[in-house]
Structure 1
């Protein structure tokens, strides 16, 4: 490979590594003159790479978007990171992306140097990704919503409720959130005039509009979504004070089961929802911390009944 070709490939890798480079910066990286950089940039343009030039303060060279995806130049560590990411994408719960990720992984594997391929194989063999059966969200739904969030545009969504009824929702999307393998949209519901959380796996289609969203005060998105999916949709809800440090409890509570917030150095608050209070009581007892019921009072009756049942337990043969 000639020095000119090697330098052009090195220049392409630099342009891919960050948004903007000045001519002197590229010249220093390549150990050539600024004039040589300009000639190499012209060669890349002749090869079809859209290298853009901007003048003025903060200007320089940048790789623009073309009609086709140009070859990516990856280092060994970057290739390993991409390969691991593709393997995780195959179990992301996004319908359609699993097959695309495997095809991309196969294409990457064909061009990897032997030493990099062996490193990727070693990392892959060490990974044990167990995919849980979660409802699949359509990749086109995710992409449409992510684009609408980025561009601050309203959308119309063909949404299916838990009872199977389908209807259209007019939304102002603020954030797409993934929690415990499930995908959610946090958005302002224009018809109900309130913040709502929607499951992406229940969306059949997303239709972006050209109307901009209205700026409005936004609550803590992650906390609101977690509260919505852990107890907002259940008929029975409970809030308790656990006499144990937050750090001791939080990592033992799955994100979709309950929300845990620190209160003091020795206590934390837990909120959960379920179809019945018995389920909540049993999981609270399993945490092993002293429980102080804040709401509802009926949870104390459930604890008393469970205690009576436990007291009647006997050992076989005794």
Structure 2
């Protein structure tokens, strides 16, 4: 193989498999001399790939973990698997999938050959995931278009359906995508309203990056997550919550949505959550019950009243004929 760039890519593809390659085998695979392999290994190292050489009668090379993440080469099956996994996670707003995951999906789908994009779409259309959480599902393409517009500082157009069902057309300067665990939101400057706005991504339709660049404006809150919290608090009255749990704080934190905050330990097997939320009373009561441990709701009083009513209703449901 006389084409040096093509040979380097082939060599890198071999080294990215989890095994050690003898220099003689690499030379045979690429139809070059062992001396050429040594030179190519030096070239890869100069590009930032941490290639380790082992001594011995035969000697060998393998790619090891380095200080930085170098570019990866993926075969067709690996690329499809990663794209499908990222689409599934982003589309259902699974807790823990943050903006970085959406950016990764946008980058991957941008360089996927058309044949692989078709395979990814076909596979996703043919499967139905077991939905988790309480958030609405989102077309991953909506997220990737928005993420690309945010990264490229491109103006974005889309249709938007408000909470009361009103349909409008918007043109915005997208700033950040924010995940609350249950839903995705876009923080953007609305050119028509001449003000900053937050948009629920599951209410967005037909997003289109116009190609028109813009100079990013300074966000009033300085942080997209803070701006979203402030915007949500204005839209819905907040509720001050105080709940004690008879379980360790890590156990409870792992079973509560991240936006509720972290409980504070009050002992080795107890903790307390004091937070302000904008969620519905019914949703909050069910989430507390799903923690699967004993707990006491101290406030607000309407939460304790609702939990009492819910408990009585569930008790009746467990007794045959009690509700008739």
| TM-score, with structure 2 as normaliser | 0.51
Determine if the alignment matches structure 1 residue 267 to structure 2 residue 262: no
Could you tell me which residue of structure 1 aligns to residue 208 of structure 2? 206
Determine if the alignment matches structure 1 residue 301 to structure 2 residue 313: no
Matching of residues 278-293 of structure 1 within 5 Å: 278-287=282-291, 288-293=293-298
Could you tell me which residue of structure 2 aligns to residue 93 of structure 1? 91
Shift of 1:226: 8.0
Secondary structure of 1:104's match? helix
RMSD: 5.1
* Distance change in 2, residues 1:192/1:8 (3 Å): closer
Matching of residues 109-120 of structure 1 within 5 Å: none
Give CA-to-partner distance per residue, 1:98-124, whole Å, 9 cap, x none: xx899418889xxxxxxxxxxxxxxxx
Give CA-to-partner distance per residue, 1:11-41, whole Å, 9 cap, x none: 245799xxxxxxxxxxx984349xx99xxxx
Task: Name the CA distance, whole Å, in 2 between partners of 1:308 and 1:273.
Answer: 25
Q: Do 1:245 and 1:268's aligned partners in 2 also have CA atoms closer than 8 Å? A: no
Secondary structure of 1:4's match? coil
Q: Do 2:156 and 2:207's aligned partners in 1 also have CA atoms closer than 8 Å? A: no
Task: Name the CA distance, whole Å, in 1 between partners of 2:288 and 2:11.
Answer: 54
* Distance change in 2, residues 1:272/1:181 (3 Å): closer
Task: Name the CA distance, whole Å, in 2 between partners of 1:29 and 1:80.
Answer: 30
Matching of residues 128-277 of structure 1 within 5 Å: 130-132=129-131, 135-137=137-139, 139=141, 141-177=142-178, 183-189=184-190, 191=193, 193-194=195-196, 196-208=198-210, 209-216=212-219, 218=221, 220-221=223-224, 237=239, 239-243=241-245, 244-254=247-257, 259-264=260-265, 266-269=271-274, 272-275=277-280, 277=281
| TM-score, with structure 1 as normaliser | 0.52
Could you tell me which residue of structure 1 aligns to residue 30 of structure 2? none
Task: Name the CA distance, whole Å, in 2 between partners of 1:268 and 1:312.
Answer: 29
Secondary structure of 1:267's match? strand
Task: Name the CA distance, whole Å, in 2 between partners of 1:135 and 1:154.
Answer: 24
Task: Name the CA distance, whole Å, in 1 between partners of 2:216 and 2:272.
Answer: 40
Give CA-to-partner distance per residue, 1:209-248, whole Å, 9 cap, x none: 433221235455457658988x987678562333454411
* Distance change in 2, residues 1:152/1:268 (3 Å): same
Residue number among 25, 32, 38 corresponding to 1:31 in the alignment: 38
Task: Name the CA distance, whole Å, in 2 between partners of 1:220 and 1:251.
Answer: 25
Shift of 1:283: 3.8
Give CA-to-partner distance per residue, 1:157-189, whole Å, 9 cap, x none: 321224331113343322234566854323345
Task: Name the CA distance, whole Å, in 2 between partners of 1:201 and 1:233.
Answer: 16
Task: Name the CA distance, whole Å, in 1 between partners of 2:82 and 2:36.
Answer: 29
Task: Name the CA distance, whole Å, in 2 between partners of 1:74 and 1:82.
Answer: 9
Query: Structure 1, unaligned stretches of length 5 or more?
Result: 17-27, 38-71, 109-127
Secondary structure of 1:31's match? helix
Paired residues in the alignment total: 239
Could you tell me which residue of structure 1 aligns to residue 116 of structure 2? 104
Shift of 1:85: 0.6
Task: Name the CA distance, whole Å, in 2 between partners of 1:11 and 1:283.
Answer: 53
Query: Structure 2, unaligned stretches of length 5 or more?
Result: 14-34, 45-70, 93-108, 121-126
